């Protein structure tokens, strides 16, 4: 090697994320379940930018508390759009607007839920759906 050549060696670029298990115990991201991986990445995705963020069905990989906490903080920093089938995402995330997207005759139709009745139909399957849910939880 001449005095003008640099020695090089390939180095893997690998970030290690660990989850605090309590009592000074840490779990490596290599051992995470799919849901834990998504939970670890969510804050990075939500807070790395102020540009609008679109997430499709967060309820598939995250529990309601993780979604709620992240949305309630990040919604003040950026516009977020969630495509969801879960009333919990809209309600727990303090959604400001609910849009209904329907397909009819190979065309998409978008409408804004403007009234309580619209929101009930969209989020709970209607008034009867909400009442059934309340009864299931022992509420009247």
For the question of whether the overall pTM of this predicted structure is more than 0.75, the answer is no
89, 63 Cβ separation under 8 angstroms = no
Q: Give the chain's count of helices (H) and strands (E).
A: 5, 6
Share of the chain above pLDDT 90, in %: 5
Low-confidence ranges of the chain (pLDDT < 50): none
Q: Domain ranges in the chain?
A: 25-93
pLDDT in tens, 88-127: 888 888 888 888 888 888 888 888 888 888 888 877 778 8
């Amino acid at each position: 090697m001449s005095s003008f050549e640099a020695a090089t060696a390939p180095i893997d670029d690998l970030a290690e994320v660990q989850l605090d298990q309590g009592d000074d115990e840490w779990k490596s991201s290599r051992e995470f379940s799919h849901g834990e991986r998504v939970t670890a990445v969510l804050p990075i995705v939500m807070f790395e930018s102020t540009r609008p963020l679109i997430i499709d069905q967060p309820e598939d990989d995250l529990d309601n508390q993780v979604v709620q906490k992240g949305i309630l903080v990040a919604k003040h920093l950026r516009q977020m759009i969630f495509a969801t089938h879960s009333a919990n995402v809209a309600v727990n995330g303090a959604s400001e607007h609910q849009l209904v997207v329907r397909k009819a005759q190979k065309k998409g139709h978008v409408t804004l839920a403007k009234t309580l009745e619209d929101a009930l139909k969209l989020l709970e399957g209607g008034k009867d759906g909400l009442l059934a849910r309340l009864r299931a939880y022992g509420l009247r």
